[in-house]
Structure 1
Amino acid sequence: MTPAPMQPTADAKHVAPATRQVPRPSHHFRQFDVMGAHVDGEATRFTVWAPNARSVCVAGSFNDWHGEPLQRIEDGSGLWHGRVEGARAGDFYKYRIQGAHGHWMDKADPYAFRCEHPPGTASQIWELDHAWGDREWMARRGERQAHTQPMSTYEVHLGSWQREEDGRMLNYRDIAVRLASHCRTMGFTHVELMPVAEHPFYGSWGYQTTGYFAPTSRYGTPQDLMVLVDTLHQHGIGVILDWVGSHFPSDPHALAQFDGTALYEHADPRLGFHPQWNSLIFNYGRYEVRDFLISNALFWLEKYHFDGLRVDAVASMLYLDFAREPGQWLPNQYGGNQNLEAVRFLQDLNSAVYAQFPDVHMIAEESTAWAGVSRPVHHGGLGFGMKWNMGWMNDTLRYVERPHFYRRWHGDDIRFSSVYAFNENFVLPLSHDEVVYGKGSLLCKQAGDEWQRFAGLRALYGYMWAHPGKKLLFMGGEFGQYQEWHHERTLDWHLWARPLHAGVARWVADLNAAYRRVPALHVNDFEHEGFQWLPVDAHEPQTVLAFVRRGAPGDALAVALVNMTPEPRHALRLGLPHAGTWHELLNSDAPFYGGSGMGNLGRVHADDAPLGGMPASATLTLPPLAALVLVDRPVDATIPGGEPHART
């Protein structure tokens, strides 16, 4: 769900989450402790917000769906509550609400912990007990998730990652061990789950949320999801949740016109209706709505032990004229197009999350030049910890789709990201949005014949993993999925039996291993001193990328070279920071990955011959459509289990 991007330009640096602004004490960010259905002995307490309702009842399987009245709390809060005998965990229910204009509606509970399996729309009384086994992970999470640590994320849609042979969806528990094993083998540090909150339309991929506090029952119970997170943690893998606070669907059983009035949304469609997604926009100026959303964010982090939230479609929240034509939107009080109430909400959201969970990640999918997305709130920013680099993604994919011959004239596309690479704390995303709706898979975006496409894909990944910024790759990309993604079918796992696909998988595993074990490739992902272009003396230097990555003082240096054409570069001169032996740690053209076998026999010698401002230089071979990683000292680049994965 990504609008057209603009290149970020403003300077916006992140500091330690612990220094972020403390949330305003007037807000109540633990609504889930009070609202909704809570088992109380042989009864259940129900509380719902419906300030403009004339009457509210609760009807469920415990009373044959005959409404039992709730009482209005006479304090101006708009809350209704009651204790219903005989209502127990597992029972289904809805609120029967007489709206402000007298008509009756059956509404699902906005705070329900579980929902009926779609197409059913009832809420379910549920308790969230689970014996967690991830104590070691949680104790070390702050250390593991520091910005100086590697972060390589595998984005997953649970319903289409794997399925049973007959097409049935897997349970969260079934997925848990398989996914943990796969990520361990491939070397990913994190999994990012596309939205798991309940959604009636499966084709929305979870982005049209109705049950904000309930994981979708398509894959099992809340405890089953807890087992999934728990299992990944016990295998040393963090879990990020894709979270949607930007809009919600207009389904009549859910939040829309909840008490007969625009309660969660704006009444004016110029503020409250999203024309691009045919959905409703939260009224961020209403403190009850802000509390609902911030409570929800904290809920997933606390009750399900998620290690961060990727906040969807932030740009749509920030701009009042987003996806609108003139006359379809209202300016703010100063006449501008900035949604000041949404800005305040995002600042409150990030402040509240980092105050309670300083060791998690808050990541913005934000595609414009808005300044300071990952700058702390007390420095005038939005307070996110990281931001997706949509500019890098769009420029890079546009470049690799060009025929090789024309790339010499479009070097700025592939190089421009270095101009702003440290303005924000960036994640480099090759996400689900880039492989759907006729865009083709990452493999099929590559130019050339079959061999060149696979070589180009390996070169793209080599460039991405060496480039400053954390990494995110959508499922299927790790083995070169041919078909673009579709939510109704599983990935083409049979392709692993084909050598070129298996070679891509080995390459991704080795990139992850090197990324984790070479500090220069991750320590300064967000710092200027971690990156510098290197000069090359070559025909068509525009299609050869060469740069050095630096870590902390004393760390080995890493040099990346990428050939963006199918012509090998023999006797290429490369300027280097110092003379001596440079070891060829990774070479995507190795036969092990499906390459042609060109290389430098594992090492390159640099002498004291200056080149382009560098004090030393070396002559080497750069294979066709290939990425090399050189280090200035031997590095142990083994994946967990001890098998060497640095092949040349």
Structure 2
Amino acid sequence: MMLKLVEDDKLLRPFAGIIEKRHRQVLAMEREFTYRTTRLSDSCNSYLYYGLHRTNEGWVFREWAPNATAIYLLGEFNDWRKHPDYALTKVGNGNWEIKLPQETLEHKMLYRLLVEWNGGSGERLPSHVRRVIQDEYTKIYSAQVWDPLNPYQMRHESPKRSEYPLIYEAHIGMSTEHRRVSTFTEFRLFVLPRIVDLGYNTIQLMAVQEHPYYGSFGYQVANFFAVSSRFGTPDELKALIDTAHGMGIRVIMDIVHSHAVNNEVEGLSRFDGSYDQYFYPGNRGFHSLWGSRCFDYGKHEVLNFLLSNCKYWLEEFHFDGYRFDGITSMLYWDHGLDKDFTEYNLYYDGNQDENAITYLALANRVIHQVDPEAITIAEDMSGMPGVASPIEDGGMGFDYRMNMGTPDYWIKLLKEKRDEEWHVGDLFYELTNKREEEHTISYAESHDQALVGDKTIFFRLVDKAIYTSMGVFDKNILIERGMALHKMIRLVTIGTAADGYLNFMGNEWGHPEWIDFPREGNGWSYDHARRLWSLVDDENLRFRFLNAFDKSMIQTVNETRVFHWRPEPLVRDNERQVLIFTRGDYLFVFNFNPEKSFPDYVFDAPSGKYTMLLDTDSKNFDGLGRIDEKMEHFTRYVSPGRGQLSLYIPARTGFVLKRS
């Protein structure tokens, strides 16, 4: 019987055999893992076996290192010296174990491993370490025993899953205005209330997994089961998530399984002396562009490690799901570099890592078995069919796909086209173009669009005028344009979004400049690795109006639940740059014309009375207030259910009307 993915898309028929083969491979691997259990998730418990655990009899530590000839525990308990009393014993299948008396270790004690192999040795951090800290002076990383007397206890249930996530993407470290790394506690106390006030229902936390290089934005992970100690303790992360849950907000994690840091002492690379323990052998085990290691998704032990990692963060920290970073790099042997993916055969030409495809499907299976309310989001720039389709249909099982074409489109438009050249027909097509069967998350910009060498949308719109002309009494044509378009870009993006929306921390109110983490090239500066909240809090600056608009926009989406209906175009007037579409009983109206207002714009619309819900030109949002928002608009009869509506549509304005 034909898989639904192929049945619903005739263009996939020539590749039905390949898609069916991939589907069978997923099911076969699932059977291999579940021969002793009922569910796949029940067999993914590596973190309960490996690593350091306190038992009633004392401590037990286990490690998988098949190429090792000897392993020793080094730490404060033995003056960091190799000693036979702290040698691990082989217990079969490449596993090693040591049992220690209760009094040997205590909370916050530091330790590492000494791994020996034929021809060499090296100090390592355990593969399943849950707490890693860096010495302030030597910069050396060590594992830390984390066994608090009174561990944090979660008090709140996770909020129910929202069908339409409104996501606030956030980085803990750069969430303070101070020139330093912020903490989980500071974020909980000072940033979380801002997110609650804006109305977002989901927070996406970046850089949670431990990473040795801060400037990697958390995407060069060394310790997959450890909370980044830069931001605080595991208990402080739990307190943040628990508090968010108590405020009705779900928290998902930016998880990185697409690659691992190349570091050997801190990470998994050459852990037991071999290059291919966790990673593909030869060149396939190295990502040349990222300078990192590529997991061997065909090896059972690696699959168990990664699948257990998915389960761990859900169970231990009560995360509500994941955004999987960089899966394009996983899906293709060439990592999808320098490809446009304009033809279907590029998804089925043998360049695909079918082991990785199998892993992603199994990861989704595990996540949804552990927590049926959890959501998974794929970041895939290639658009491979099936990524966000159910496994049973022949897909990989992600709930959502990031609509990565949308921010790319905005940047291209702002860079290459004058305002007079904006083609609203193209705009509507680009913002709504998606595979029908997939759920997607749209966004005007995420952290990616503001990394060093680029600019936020608002900074791109107003440039250096942001430094001199953002006062409430200043008049500047660049600022007027930037304020108007910033609001319109966000409203039309969320208005055309299929199933959800994402915003990066601070971009809602036009955070200036770009993001650049401390590094040698900028003198290890924190100037661009922070959020200048004082700008939006200053009553004398105009940033607060953009923040107020974002709050009203999110509130409107929450109250109207417009995502229940798909956008249906009514007007795509390219000559006058007017775009009008409906979502259910809600009418979205945009005039992108930079100069011309239309006092009596007549068009066909569903019959009824229309009243104003949201207006980008409102004086509450630093607009010109050209529309009488209290006015009721009635259609003129044309035919049953259809009428003609006449509206005043000012230049550079977008608004939402409700039909009754």
TM-score above 0.5: yes
Pick aligned residue for 2:610 from 571, 579, 582: 582
Deviations 1:12-54 (A, max 9, x none): xxxxxxxx98774156311111110112358421100001111
SS of residue paired to 2:174: helix
Q: Which residue of 2 aligns with 1:82?
A: 98
Q: Which residue of 2 aligns with 1:597?
A: 625
SS of residue paired to 1:416: helix
Which TM-score applies when normalising by structure 1?
A: 0.85
- 2:322 corresponds to 1:309: yes
The amino acid across from 1:132 in the alignment is Q
- 2:123 corresponds to 1:106: yes
Pick aligned residue for 1:535 from 561, 564, 571: 571
Q: Which residue of 2 aligns with 1:554?
A: none
Shift of 1:170: 3.0
- 2:280 corresponds to 1:263: no
Shift of 1:264: 0.7
Shift of 1:610: 4.2
Pick aligned residue for 1:522 from 563, 568, 590: 563
Higher relative contact order (CA 8 A, sep 6+): 1
Shift of 1:186: 1.1
The amino acid across from 2:129 in the alignment is A
Q: Which residue of 2 aligns with 1:14?
A: none
Alignment of 1:207-606 (within 5 A): 207-253=219-265, 254-261=267-274, 262-269=276-283, 271-322=284-335, 336-409=350-423, 411-420=425-434, 422-429=436-443, 430-446=445-461, 449-467=478-496, 468-487=498-517, 488=526, 489-496=529-536, 497=538, 498-519=540-561, 521-524=562-565, 530-535=566-571, 540-541=575-576, 543-550=577-584, 557-567=585-595, 568-578=597-607, 580-606=608-634
Q: Matches of 1:596 and 1:9 in 2, distance apart?
A: 50
Shift of 1:404: 4.0
Q: Matches of 1:157 and 1:610 in 2, distance apart?
A: 53
The amino acid across from 1:626 in the alignment is T
Q: Which residue of 2 aligns with 1:644?
A: none
Which TM-score applies when normalising by structure 2?
A: 0.84
Q: Is the 8 A contact 1:600 1:620 kept in 2?
A: no
Most deviating of 64-73 and 307-316: 64-73
Q: Is the 8 A contact 1:152 1:188 kept in 2?
A: yes
Shift of 1:73: 3.7
What is the identity percentage for the equivalent residue pairs of Structure 1 and Structure 2? Answer: 26
* Runs of 5+ consecutive residues of structure 1 not aligned to the other structure: 1-7, 12-19, 327-331, 525-529, 551-556, 634-648
Shift of 1:624: 2.3
- 2:190 corresponds to 1:178: yes
SS of residue paired to 1:491: coil
Pick aligned residue for 1:91 from 98, 109, 128: 109
Q: Is the 8 A contact 1:427 1:469 kept in 2?
A: yes
Alignment of 1:129-208 (within 5 A): 130-135=151-156, 137-138=157-158, 141=159, 144-147=160-163, 150-164=164-178, 167-208=179-220
Q: Is the 8 A contact 1:172 1:228 kept in 2?
A: yes
Q: Matches of 1:443 and 1:381 in 2, distance apart?
A: 37
Q: Which residue of 1 aligns with 2:652?
A: 625
The amino acid across from 1:566 in the alignment is P
Most deviating of 593-602 and 400-409: 400-409
Q: Which residue of 2 aligns with 1:640?
A: none
SS of residue paired to 1:534: strand
* Runs of 5+ consecutive residues of structure 2 not aligned to the other structure: 1-8, 13-25, 340-345, 463-476, 518-525
Deviations 1:484-532 (A, max 9, x none): 123333212222224421110000000111111102x1234xxxxx221
SS of residue paired to 1:219: coil
Q: Is the 8 A contact 2:420 2:593 kept in 1?
A: no
Distance 1:48 1:318, change over 3 A: same
Q: Is the 8 A contact 1:134 1:233 kept in 2?
A: no
Q: Is the 8 A contact 2:132 2:226 kept in 1?
A: yes
Q: Matches of 1:124 and 1:621 in 2, distance apart?
A: 65
Shift of 1:187: 1.1
Distance 1:399 1:422, change over 3 A: farther
Shift of 1:324: 5.8
Q: Is the 8 A contact 2:261 2:269 kept in 1?
A: yes
Distance 1:179 1:409, change over 3 A: closer
Q: Is the 8 A contact 1:38 1:45 kept in 2?
A: yes
Deviations 1:165-211 (A, max 9, x none): xx333331222122221111111111111121111100001110011
Shift of 1:361: 0.6
Shift of 1:547: 0.9
Distance 1:176 1:583, change over 3 A: same
Deviations 1:216-255 (A, max 9, x none): 1112111011111111111111111000001011112120
SS of residue paired to 2:68: coil
Most deviating of 258-267 and 400-409: 400-409
Q: Is the 8 A contact 1:395 1:414 kept in 2?
A: no
Q: Cα RMSD over matched residues?
A: 2.7
The amino acid across from 2:140 in the alignment is G
Q: Matches of 2:478 and 2:223 in 1, distance apart?
A: 46
Distance 1:220 1:418, change over 3 A: closer
Q: Is the 8 A contact 2:295 2:302 kept in 1?
A: yes
SS of residue paired to 2:318: coil
Aligned residues: 585
Q: Which residue of 2 aligns with 1:36?
A: 51
Q: Matches of 1:570 and 1:130 in 2, distance apart?
A: 64
Q: Is the 8 A contact 2:65 2:272 kept in 1?
A: yes
Q: Is the 8 A contact 2:254 2:324 kept in 1?
A: yes
Shift of 1:257: 0.8
SS of residue paired to 2:126: coil
Shift of 1:588: 0.5
Q: Matches of 2:574 and 2:248 in 1, distance apart?
A: 46
SS of residue paired to 1:437: coil
Q: Is the 8 A contact 1:427 1:471 kept in 2?
A: yes
Distance 1:427 1:232, change over 3 A: same
Q: Matches of 1:155 and 1:275 in 2, distance apart?
A: 28
Q: Matches of 2:319 and 2:183 in 1, distance apart?
A: 18
Q: Matches of 2:10 and 2:122 in 1, distance apart?
A: 49
Distance 1:413 1:10, change over 3 A: farther
Distance 1:285 1:539, change over 3 A: closer
Q: Matches of 2:398 and 2:659 in 1, distance apart?
A: 35
Deviations 1:386-429 (A, max 9, x none): 11001122123322445544424574144233242634210013
Q: Matches of 1:602 and 1:335 in 2, distance apart?
A: 58
SS of residue paired to 1:595: coil
SS of residue paired to 1:535: strand
Distance 1:402 1:452, change over 3 A: farther
Q: Matches of 1:325 and 1:63 in 2, distance apart?
A: 52
Shift of 1:266: 1.2
